[in-house]
Amino acid sequence: MAPPDQPHVVHLRAGGTSVVLRLDADRLPCVLHWGPDLGPLSDADLRPLLAALAMPYVDSPMASQEAVALLPQHSSGWLGQPGLLGSREGRDWSVGFDEVTHEVTTAGTPGWADGPSGAQRLRSVGTDRISELEVVVELEVLASGLVRLRAAVRNLGQQPYQVDRLEPALPVPAEAGELLDMAGRHSHERTPQRRPFGVGHWVRESWGGRPGHDAATLLCAGQPGFAFRTGRVWGVHLACSGNQVLGAEHAVTGWRLLRGGERLLPGEVRLAAGQAYASPWLLGSWGEGLDELAGRFHRMLRARPQHPRRPRPVLLNVWEAVYFDHDLDRLRALADRAAELGIERFVLDDGWFRGRRDDRSGLGDWYVDEQVWPEGLAPLVDHVRGLGMEFGLWFEPEMVSLDSELATAHPDWLLRTRRGVGPASRHQHVLDLAHPDAFDHVLGRMSALIDEYGIAYVKWDHNRPLVEAGRGPAGTPGVHEQTAAAYRLMAELKARHPGLEIESCSAGGARVDLGILEHADRVWVSDCIDAHERHRIVRWTGLLLPPELMGTHVGSGVDHTTGRRHDLDFRAGTAMWGHMGVEWDLTAASPEERAELGAWIAFHQQVRALLHSGDVVHADLANPALQLEGVVAADRSEALYVLAALDHTLTWPPGRVPLPGLDPERTYRVDVPPPGDRLVRGAGTDRRVPGWVAGGAALTGRVLAEVGLQAPLLGVDQLVLLRAVAVPDPAP
């Protein structure tokens, strides 16, 4: 070990990931390596690393940055963006440390509240006596190989300290020369975009009190041209449901940082004596291709104690079937049709509460509308339960209509600035959940309804961005407290009602993050259920979330948002790759359509244990018109793939497609299972179908990955399923 005043090196490793850090007595830790596991390394193995990585002198220490901390600071000579900015009315804005202590622990030791087996943590505490601040940085390497990082600042002085920015950062190596993140809009979320990682700062901010439809979701940096199966890549996600920022900074000294934090409004966090503020977790993953990077997020989420364990119930959401037209007989008939098809959960969407005949009124008045439901919801709930289905209900707890009884009686419960409540969006405004009385009121009404009707599932919407989001008579900024209050409300409802599931919806996919998923059981990835669009949306949301956390629904033949028309095989074959649901007036469907949909639902129920536990894989196809992805069982005994044509192909036939992720040494029989075989039925007589389809193909996993299979002929917006099952070894 190096002398106390000399830097030394520690090595954290778990889940195939190594993080090597430089520790100094007067500086916060610096990451020297984050990526592939380096194997067991002794102190003697690590000691030469500092000399090996020492930079040559340029013209000053500031131009030869040997170490950039997890929370970079100008006081160390860093000329990029500081990780901590704040002051006491202009004083104590520069932070340096008299001493920094470091402690490495493993999961299960004191101080670990929720550490999974195999994880390791570094906790470093820096004290600035002159500025009267304590700064804590925690870095954990989880059993999945995921890294998570956060920072906290505590006010040790008597005068208030205002925090303006707290953004920890993870460095990536020089080979990470290309950036990938996502953009989008309502009903067109999660559209990937790439750019060179040049000198400067690429910043993605969200200012609407939620990540937004245009959220980056992940910010990745990798070897130029990295894809799903090739190219080393690193990426970060911020587990925050409020205002936030992700950034990629490339300094002229050569350091490349991926960073993120909560975007604080002016004066939003003012620490009194002894108070502290902690940043949200910044989660980092790496991989040889995006599939491995995403797999670490998926494994971490699946290891959580609150992760859904039982089979995900196929649900019917009635929104696109009835909209605001709530009629008991019609809804009962819809429930009958749903039960006949094997649907397991019935969700009554917007329109059930007082005055809610359209989207212009009623929000906040969480009482069943007596005019529409003279006997309450019990007749519908009892009918649904009698058919063997669970009952779910839509709420928008954070929002109000200005003409609601709630807003009329308690105008002081609304978020506003001194000029007023600000612009409406979807004819609604925001309830100040951080107001204790408002919080108690919403909690009481929701809890009473959940109790009265035995509600198993809450669809929790959040349709309005938070702008002009001030609290109290002074209109002080309130997004940070609003976000924390929403988390508390979800947590309290779950504590009062064990087994309750919550879906996070935010005008579709505007609140997809791991902060909300500490409390929610799935997200609605988009209001657009057009199957063509959903292939892109689900694929790229899947960089963060496994299939069982993404709501994916079958809509009617003509899509509600785009007007596109798709056949049922394409719609259902797309929707089954997540937490499957239906959003369609089944009473208007033909008997043939209902039979076909029932077959898809039954097939999904047959394979959902695989879909919701296996490794998600994607093929990097040379033909851009085709898309292939699948799920491979953890033991590599079986896999299911979907091959879709999303555009006209310039080559005809379209060529071979590989099946990634299988055990290269095992032999698999590949076939086209029903009901996803309609396009290749009669393969023995149809010369347009590849010859292997009629009898299946038996090939090794290595051959299937490296050589592949000839793709069937598919038209635009058509798909086919491919199933691979390992062939048992012959008996000795």
Radius of gyration of the chain (CA): 27
Q: For this structure, is 325 an active site residue?
A: no
Q: Which residue blocks in 511-652 are alpha helix, DSSP H?
A: 531-541, 568-575, 591-611
Pairwise CA distance, residues 130 & 92, whole Å? 8
Q: Identify the pLDDT of residue 276.
A: 98
Which residue's entry shows tokens 């195999």? 118
> What's the pLDDT score for residue 107?
79
Q: Do 499 and 483 meet the contact criterion of CB atoms below 8 Å apart?
A: no
Q: Which residues contact 28 (CB under 8 A, 6 or more apart)?
A: 69, 70, 71, 73, 97, 100, 124, 126, 135, 137
Q: 342: part of which helix (H) or strand (E)?
A: none
Q: 3-state class of 657 per DSSP?
A: strand
Contact 643, 574 (CB under 8 A): no
Angle between helices 531-541 and 568-575 (to 10 degrees): 20
Average pLDDT over residues 557-572: 94
Binning pLDDT at 50, 70 and 90, where does residue 109 land?
A: low
Rounded mean pLDDT, 305-309: 96
Alpha carbon distance 104, 403 (integer Å): 56
Given this model, what pLDDT does residue 58 score?
A: 78
Where are any strands of DSSP class E within 432-549?
457-460, 470-471, 476-477, 501-504, 522-524
Give the containing element (helix H, strand E) for 45.
Answer: helix 43-46
Of the candidates 367, 506, 516, which has an alpha carbon nearest to the alpha carbon of residue 446?
367
At residue 118, the pLDDT reads 76
pLDDT for res 59:
78
- Read off the pLDDT band of 709 (50, 70, 90): very high
Query: For residue 660, is the peptide bond before it cis, meaning its omega torsion is within 30 degrees of 0?
Result: no
The torsion angles phi and psi of 520, rounded to 5 degrees, stand at -95, 160
Average pLDDT, rounded, for the chain: 95
Rounded CA-CA distance 108/664 in Å is 37
Token code pair at residue 495: 């504590």
The identity of residue 210, as a single letter, is: R
Residue tagged active-site, from 24, 214, 432, 527 = 527
Residue percentage of the chain with pLDDT more than 90: 89
pLDDT at 685: 61
Report the Cα–Cα distance between both ends of the chain, in Å, rounded: 55
Contact between 123 and 105 under an 8 Å Cβ cutoff? The reply is: yes
CB contact set of 49 (below 8 Å; sequence gap of 6+): 9, 20, 32
The tokens for 306 are 């609150």
Candidates 495, 487, 545; CA nearest to 515 is 487
- Pairwise CA distance, residues 713 & 691, whole Å: 12
- Is 57's pLDDT higher than 90? no
Q: What percent of the chain has pLDDT over 70?
A: 97
What is the CA angle 229-234-235, rounded to 5? 105
Residue whose pair of structure tokens reads 């997200």 in the numeric block: 523
pLDDT given for residue 314 in this prediction = 98
Whether residue 495 has pLDDT greater than 60: yes
Mean pLDDT, residues 392-406: 97
Residue 113: pLDDT over 50: no
- Do residues 294 and 547 make contact, with C-beta atoms less than 8 angstroms apart? no
Sequence length of the chain is: 732
Split at pLDDT 50, 70, 90, the class of 1 is very low
Structure tokens at 287: 């991989």
Residue ranges of the chain assigned to CATH 3.20.20.70? 315-607
Residues of the chain with CATH 2.60.40.1180: 616-726
pLDDT of residue 683: 64
> Cβ distance 214 to 184 under 8 Å?
yes
Q: What is the assigned CATH class of domain 8-302? A: mainly beta
CA of 624: how far to CAs of 331, 617, 619, in Å? Answer: 43, 17, 11
CB-neighbour burial class of residue 94 (10 A; exposed 0-12, middle 13-18, buried 19+):
middle
Question: If pLDDT is split at 50, 70 and 90, which confidence band does 3 have?
Answer: low
114 token code pair: 């929720």
Residue 461 is among the residues annotated as catalytic for this protein:
yes
* Peptide bond before residue 72 is cis, with ω within 30 degrees of 0: no
- Selecting from 3.40.50.1980, 3.20.20.70, 3.40.50.300, 2.60.40.3080, what CATH number does the domain 315-607 have? 3.20.20.70
The active-site residue, picked from 24, 461, 559, 615, is 461
Query: Which CATH number describes the domain made up of 616-726?
Result: 2.60.40.1180
Residues 6+ apart with CB under 8 A from 170: 31, 34, 70, 147, 149, 234, 236, 257, 258, 259, 282, 284
At 110, the pLDDT band (50, 70, 90 cuts) reads low
